């Protein structure tokens, strides 16, 4: 039973355009959401996060939007750059004090085309 779903295994976007990565979750106890970026043979790198009390968080070229009623979040990258090509993981945690760790989606492979 997948509690965090990233339904697009891959996404191809032209350099300079906007990349939109989507994530859906089913567990209403999740109250903190994170995006991680991962290059091959490396560990995930934290990108940006959002608390359930907010609906938007912005950091430079990265913006995360949260729609609690739809249990949906998205990561916007604008403008997209070649170095953004990587696998992006959506992750969620609940209000259990962190003891459950993070629940990850399966990832979306973003490919930025020149």
Partner 1 sequence: NAGVMQNPRHLVRRRGQEARLRCSPMKGHSHVYWYRQLPEEGLKFMVYLQKENIIDESGMPKERFSAEFPKEGPSILRIQQVVRGDSAAYFCASSFTGSSMDTIYFGEGSWLTVV
Instruction: Single out the segment in contact with partner 1 by CB under 8 A; choices: 18-26, 66-74, 77-85, 95-103.
Output: 95-103
> Strand 10-14 relative to strand 108-113: parallel, antiparallel, unpaired?
parallel
Per CB under 8 A, 12 contacts partner 1: no
Question: Could you tell me the smallest distance in angstroms from the CB atom of residue 80 to partner 1?
Answer: 23
Question: Measured between alpha carbons, how far is 33 from 92 in angstroms, rounded to an integer?
Answer: 4
Instruction: Single out the segment in contact with partner 1 by CB under 8 A; choices: 12-20, 58-66, 73-81, 88-96.
Output: 88-96
DSSP state of 107: -
Do 23 and 6 meet the contact criterion of CB atoms below 8 Å apart?
A: yes
Per CB under 8 A, 93 contacts partner 1: yes
Instruction: Single out the segment in contact with partner 1 by CB under 8 A; choices: 14-22, 40-48, 55-63, 72-80.
Output: 40-48
Question: Could you tell me the smallest distance in angstroms from the CB atom of residue 49 to partner 1?
Answer: 6
CA distances from 101 to 69, 92, 94 (A): 23, 9, 8
């Amino acid at each position: 039973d997948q509690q965090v779903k990233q339904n697009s295994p891959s996404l191809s976007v032209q350099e300079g355009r906007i990349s939109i990565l989507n994530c859906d979750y089913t567990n209403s106890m999740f109250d903190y959401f994170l995006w991680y970026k991962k290059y091959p043979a490396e560990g995930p790198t934290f990108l940006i996060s959002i608390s359930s009390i907010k609906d938007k968080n912005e950091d430079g070229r990265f913006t995360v939007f949260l729609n609690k009623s739809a249990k949906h979040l998205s990561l916007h990258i604008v403008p997209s750059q070649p170095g953004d090509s990587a696998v992006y993981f959506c992750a969620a945690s609940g209000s259990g004090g962190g003891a459950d760790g993070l629940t990850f989606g399966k990832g979306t492979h973003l490919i930025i085309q020149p």
